[in-house]
Amino acid sequence: MCLKELISIPVVFLKDPASIDPDNFLASNLAVIFGNDLPPWQLVPLAFLDVFSIWALILVAIGFSAADPKKLPLGKSLAIVIGVTLTFMFLFTGIAWVFS
């Protein structure tokens, strides 16, 4: 995720210092649109829908498929990666729901 931080450096310098959100320097997920108006358990799934996270998931699926394309075709590796990500998203959403 180094690319996200490198892109956010010029954004931080161009923005007004009072308008910088320390949680989201770069508005790359849907949680930025709603801000802090929603409860935390509703912001967690929106934060998972990040442009860079989706890109990383696709790259991981391509890497899994490239390691052994006969055993793990691209569709199956993409399903595994998305399944694991959704499992973690539901886990963190549930934790945020319990503690909110």
Kindly list the averaged pLDDT for each block of 10 residues, start to end, along the chain of length 100: 71 73 70 78 84 89 91 92 94 92
Give the C-alpha separation, 58 to 23, whole Å: 24
pTM: 0.73
Placement of tokens 């929106």 in the chain = 46
pLDDT of residue 28: 74
pLDDT of residue 22: 67
Please, are residues 28 and 52 in contact by the beta-carbon 8 Å criterion?
yes
Q: 51-67 and 74-98 are packed helices; what angle lies between their axes, rounded to 10 degrees?
A: 140
> How many residues comprise the chain?
100
pLDDT of residue 86: 94
pLDDT of residue 80: 94
Cβ neighbors of 82 (< 8 A, separation 6 or more) are 57, 61
pLDDT of residue 91: 95
